[in-house]
């Protein structure tokens, strides 16, 4: 996958960027567990360091995760020495685990990591292929509007720890719906820039991709706590089911 090298490079600071113990991660685990039958099966695409997968497995669910980044999966295994999460190394837009799940989900901006619309459609198709009867697909994604309106380059600073910050420089190519983000960690050592390219998509566009994959939207929220979704929501959590279910 195109973003594999970027996530390999970010593996050592990813826990600081997205803390596993954050309230938002806990809300996501509650949301996903509520969709899953007792002792059910869950698959996370872009499982990364297991910030959601490991807590889900601790609830007695069978949890699998697929990721192209070997470094991120190594971090997961460090945090999960008992291997409660079954991991698969691969490109989730082209490869599957060969199994079926009650919930298949993709969180944060990971759906945007495939940098073409065709690859994002393939991602939806792979999720549909791995969905058990009556199951649900869940996609979390940010709203693209603030970035689509960006004129020139935007630079922001992200706190990581008392001794480290991350400087993010973002450039948007509107005609291709692409964002180039250069993450640079400043921690007293040699600055470590990492380039990430993502393709953002509008909620209506994601819904169309879902329909092309044989899915249909059933619910949409502004967050994992099921907040009402509206035009000013900075992100959405969207739930899909197989189109033939009804």
Using one digit for the tens of pLDDT, what is the confidence trace for 62-89?
999 999 999 899 999 999 999 999 999 9
**Strand-pair partners of 39:** none
What is the number of H-type helices and E-type strands within the chain?
8, 11
Asked if residue 177 and residue 109 are part of one domain, the reply reads no
- One domain for residues 161 and 73: no
Residues 207 and 194 in one domain: no
Torsion-angle region of residue 62: left (phi > 0), alpha (psi -120 to 50) or beta?
beta
> Which domain-ending residue is among 181, 198, 215?
198
- Read off the CATH number of the domain in which 209 is found: 3.40.50.150
**Domain total in the chain:** 2
Q: What's the token pair of residue 143?
A: 């709203």
Could you list the residue range(s) of the whole structural domain that residue 80 is in? Answer: 4-143+201-245
Residue % of the chain over a pLDDT of 70: 95
Coil, helix or strand for 164? strand
In a shared domain, residues 68 and 180: no
Residues 118 and 221 in one domain: yes
User: Smallest Cα–Cα separation from 103: which of 134, 149, 68?
Assistant: 134
DSSP 228: B
- 217 and 185 in a common domain: no
pLDDT-derived band at 4 (thresholds 50, 70, 90) equals low
Interaxial angle between packed helices 203-212 and 117-129, expressed in degrees from 0 to 180 and rounded to the nearest 10: 50
Residues 41 and 127 grouped into a single domain: yes
Q: Which of 198, 214, 230 is the last residue of a domain?
A: 198
168 with 232, same domain? no
CATH number of the domain where residue 193 is located? 2.20.25.570
What are the Cα distances from residue 19, in Å, to 13, 51, 59, 118, 160? 10, 8, 19, 31, 10
Looking at residue 46, its pLDDT comes to 94
Q: Whole-prediction pTM value?
A: 0.92
For 114, 121, 122, 212, the CA distances from 118, given in Å and listed in that order, are: 9, 5, 6, 11
Tokens 């806990």 sit on residue: 26
User: What pLDDT score was predicted for residue 188?
Assistant: 87
CA–CA gap between residue 53 and residue 35 (Å, rounded): 14
* pLDDT at 6 exceeding the cut of 70: no
The token pair that represents 103 in the structure block: 């919930």
Judgement on whether residues 77 and 178 belong to the same structural domain of the protein = no
Q: Identify whether residues 57 and 158 lie together within a single domain.
A: no
- Same domain for 166 and 58? no
Say if residues 56 and 29 touch (Cβ distance below 8 Å): yes
């Amino acid at each position: 996958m195109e973003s594999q090298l970027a996530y390999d490079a970010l593996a050592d600071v990813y826990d600081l960027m997205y803390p596993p113990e954050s309230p938002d991660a806990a809300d996501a685990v509650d949301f996903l567990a509520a969709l899953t039958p007792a002792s059910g099966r869950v698959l996370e695409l872009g499982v990364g360091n297991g910030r959601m997968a490991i807590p889900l497995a601790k609830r007695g669910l069978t949890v699998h995760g697929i990721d192209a980044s070997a470094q991120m999966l190594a971090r997961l295994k460090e945090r999960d020495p008992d291997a409660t999460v079954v991991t698969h190394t691969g490109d989730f837009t082209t490869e599957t685990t060969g199994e079926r799940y009650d919930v298949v989900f993709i969180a944060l901006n990971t759906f945007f990591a495939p940098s073409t619309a065709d690859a994002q459609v393939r991602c939806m198709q792979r999720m549909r292929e791995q969905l058990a009867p009556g199951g649900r697909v869940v996609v979390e994604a940010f709203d693209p509007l603030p970035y689509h309106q960006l004129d020139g380059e935007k630079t922001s600073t992200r706190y990581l720890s008392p001794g480290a910050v991350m400087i993010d420089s973002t450039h948007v190519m509107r005609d291709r719906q692409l964002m180039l983000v250069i993450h640079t960690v400043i921690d007293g050592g040699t600055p470590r820039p990492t380039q990430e390219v993502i393709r953002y998509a509008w909620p209506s566009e994601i819904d169309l991709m879902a329909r092309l994959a044989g899915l249909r939207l059933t619910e949409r929220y502004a967050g994992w706590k099921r907040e009402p979704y509206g035009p000013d929501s900075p992100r959405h959590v969207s739930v899909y089911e197989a189109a033939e279910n009804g």
